[in-house]
Chains A and B, each alone.
Chain A
Amino acid sequence: MRSAILQTASRYLLPILLLFSVFLLLRGHYYPGGGFVGGLVASIAFVLHSFAHGTVNTMKVLRYKPLTLIPIGLGIASLAMFMPVFFGLPVMTGLWLDEPIPVIGMLGSALLFDIGVYLVVIGVVLTILFTISLHTH
């Protein structure tokens, strides 16, 4: 399916949706949002791009296989999990900086864990959907 309207729209929607997904990721501590929903919105952006331009072209935009995002995300999440152990605290204790950072707000190990979840969700969803769409041709 080659639609000029959809192709033009998806070219502008991809960066906007990625920005919205980062916004959802950073907002997750106090309001609805977080790593999972942010990852879903980011993967929706890429899926929309793949519907308009074809899956092969979206793989070129991504450059790396989405499967490689899963171990990176799991590594970041487990780093956030075991970081308190080095400070003599139980596993999964929330570590927080004393001063809030402008725009982002309070920064802690929970955000690192959320970034890990974000990358894992993008990797899993894109791997599943790209595998399906490449094998149905």
Chain B
Amino acid sequence: MTLNLYFDYVIFPILTVTVILVFIRLFKGPELVDRVVALDLLITIGIALITVYSIRSAEAIFLDVAMIFALIAFLGTIAFSFYLDKQEKK
């Protein structure tokens, strides 16, 4: 089994199933906090997909995209918690 076949038949299906499961949590999520965590996890899985695809297609440039994506996800989660914190104090 080559590395590319391993990516195609094991890693990508696992990540796809994970995206679906996390999306169910994002859709159902009883609390707003659950949705924030689900969104953060969704972006983290996106970073994993980009990284695996970058290894599979041997393009190091895609890693920069994943880096900026991680940065924006971090900022988004902080912004969510910042405004949730502000909302609870009122």
Contact = CB atoms under 8 A, between A and B. Distances in A.
Interface of A: 1, 6, 17, 31-33, 37, 41, 44, 47-48, 51, 136
Interface string B55-90: 000000100110010011001001101100110000
Contact of A48 (B61, B64, B78, B86): B78
Grouping DSSP codes into helix (H, G, I), strand (E, B) and loop, the A interface class, with mixed when no group exceeds half, is helix
Nearest to A33: B64
Interface residues of B, number: 13
Given A17-B71, A32-B61, 11 more contacts: A1-B81, A1-B86, A6-B78, A33-B64, A41-B68, A44-B71, A44-B72, A44-B75, A51-B75, A51-B78, A51-B79
Interface of B: 61, 64-65, 68, 71-72, 75, 78-79, 81-82, 85-86
